[in-house]
Structure 1
Amino acid sequence: MSGGPAVAGRRTGPAGLLLVAAAAWVWVVARGGDMPAVPGTMGLGPLPFLAVWTLMTAAMMLPATAPVAALYARTLTAHRASHMAVFTLAYLLVWAAAGLPAYALAAGLGRAANLPVAAGTAVAAAVFALSGVYQLTPLKDRCLARCRSPIGLMLRYASYPGTSRDLRAGAHHGAFCLGCCWSLMVLLAAFGVMNLWAMVVLAAVITVEKLAPAGRVVARAVGVTSIALAVAVFWVPDLAPGLTGGGMTGM
């Protein structure tokens, strides 16, 4: 059969990326239950939190990025494995950098769990509302559109000169992904940062938003649902265990 090496090369991008995602999920499932079931930063300092955050985002984000990785791999003519490694690393560095404000936010919101339940509930409502409103904004729609139809991005990346192309392409796509998905990740502050079931559901939502034909409709439905949760949490505080302390668990 002809084209064997070419086909294998094209698979290098998504295959390697999915292996990283699978390894991250293995760590999350194996070690997540050992993480302290406390709100906010889980009792971690900045560097350990960033390490955990990066593994979480690798697990949750990379599967939905596989189609973009496959397209990018097709623009490469040689040494695809090393090029895709740099692309993936740059993508994850964007999310790692986002872990810095995430740590500050988690530290601040974690204090809500030590407040009276009414105060923690109000903070949870604000988190749900912020997420829901952003899901309905033109900026969310624009970032999601770039993730769903990346052909234009591929043309842009092809114009990048020199050895920094993979780094710039990975970081550029990571920035659009961050703009698309931060409003979903912030929900972990309400559900619990290492709440495994919340991570699985949100990862599924991210994948459906980016890859399913009705992804944009799903994004808006999630926004409406999040706004509804902002109201419902006043009657059912346990909807936000990460901020009200109700039913905190890693699994």
Structure 2
Amino acid sequence: MDGGSPLERLLRRDRVITIAGMAALCLLAWLYIVAGAGIGMNAWEMSRLALFPHLQTPNMTSDMTSDMPGMDMSGMDMSGMDMSAMATEPRAWGAANWALMIAMWWVMMIAMMSPSAAPTILLYARVHRHALAQGQIQDKLAPTGVFMAGYLLVWLGFSVAATALHWLLEREAFVSATMMSSQSRWLSAIVLIGAGLYQLSPFKNACLSHCRAPTAFLARHWRPHALGALRLGALHGAFCVGCCWMLMALLFVGGVMNLVWVAALAILVLAEKLFPAGPWVGRAAGIALIAWGGATLLV
């Protein structure tokens, strides 16, 4: 039996190729984060389990000693040195720092958001394949990669904004330059309560509804060809940003490179979008965040 042309055989395997590509992208993103995201910090050491991260003070003395192995600091009189000020002193951000931080945020968003976007991306590839079989379109190859590129470009825009906010919070000493987590009770409380309230808001629910119903989303907004795929992916990304941006802001509380917080938020996003009781999971998380923020004001 004729197996068809190489292109036809490739089209029959597009689902496997798409799944493999997304899995590889997500895995590489997680490996990049675990490896320190190119910013010279140890993600494992920055990952702490703490209900109130603003109470955790980095041990700068030990860090300095370990970073300068050729210097014997045991005989130094450090009584007059303000170690807490050293721990919170903002870094100088040059062009390279900005680029690395934007890349860090973007790769982190890819790692956290790609799994929950997978059903929509796979459905897009399937719809394109069906339309091709029915003769409704002439594009041989499904522009699934273009759809995903549009999705990720929106998260790149979010990452630029998050980096700018990160710089501002660090400059004003609300976020630690060493641990990248909140060192302000008020910042922690505001973000926690704000995220909780947003979880219960109609706007959050509207965006989540689009993310949870990929069939309806594609039926309503479908556009053919590569440009249509880019636009469609960007629109889906916009709904996802609208759904999750306040959850991502929680990283400023627990630590931007805190693997525990990154993984927990990724699981929450996945549950909200894919589980049958996802909306209720989100509402329960919102109530918990409000209570957590209230408790933060009391400690």
Question: TM tier, shorter chain?
Answer: 0.7 to 0.9
The residue aligned with 1:18 is 23
| Structure 2 gaps, min length 5 | 47-86, 130-139, 177-182
Q: Which amino acid in structure 2 is aligned with residue 190 of structure 1?
A: V
Distance 1:18 1:35 in 2: 26
Q: Compared with structure 1, are the counterparts of its residues 14 and 165 closer, same or farther at alpha carbon in structure 2 (3 Å cutoff)? A: farther
The residue aligned with 2:106 is 54
Contact 2:119–2:214 (Cα < 8 Å) also in 1? no
Correspondent of 2:156 among 68, 84, 96: 96
The residue aligned with 1:139 is 203
Distance 1:166 1:120 in 2: 43
The residue aligned with 2:165 is 105
Q: SS of the residue aligned with 1:76?
A: helix
Q: CA deviation at 1:52?
A: 0.7
Q: Compared with structure 1, are the counterparts of its residues 43 and 127 closer, same or farther at alpha carbon in structure 2 (3 Å cutoff)? A: farther
Q: Compared with structure 1, are the counterparts of its residues 85 and 229 closer, same or farther at alpha carbon in structure 2 (3 Å cutoff)? A: same
Structure (1 or 2) with the larger CA radius of gyration:
2
Contact 1:14–1:67 (Cα < 8 Å) also in 2? no
Matched positions, count: 230
Deviations, residues 22-77 of structure 1 (Å, cap 9, x unaligned): 11011111225942758899875322211111100000000111111110001223
Distance 1:165 1:73 in 2: 13
The residue aligned with 2:141 is 79
Contact 1:131–1:184 (Cα < 8 Å) also in 2? yes
Contact 2:271–2:278 (Cα < 8 Å) also in 1? yes
Per the normalisation by structure 2, the TM-score is: 0.70
Q: CA RMSD in A?
A: 2.7
Q: Compared with structure 1, are the counterparts of its residues 230 and 19 closer, same or farther at alpha carbon in structure 2 (3 Å cutoff)? A: same
- Does 2:249 correspond to 1:220? no
The residue aligned with 1:207 is 270
| Structure 1 gaps, min length 5 | 237-251
Distance 1:95 1:192 in 2: 19
The residue aligned with 2:134 is none
Contact 1:87–1:169 (Cα < 8 Å) also in 2? yes
The residue aligned with 1:244 is none
Runs ≥4 in structure 1, deviation > 4 angstroms?
Answer: 1-7, 36-44
Q: SS of the residue aligned with 2:36?
A: helix
Distance 2:31 2:90 in 1: 21
Per the normalisation by structure 1, the TM-score is: 0.82
The residue aligned with 1:35 is 41
The residue aligned with 2:117 is 65
- Does 2:252 correspond to 1:189? yes
Q: SS of the residue aligned with 1:75?
A: helix
Task: Tell which has more relative contact order, 1 or 2 (C-alpha 8 A, sep 6+).
Answer: 1
Distance 2:270 2:186 in 1: 30
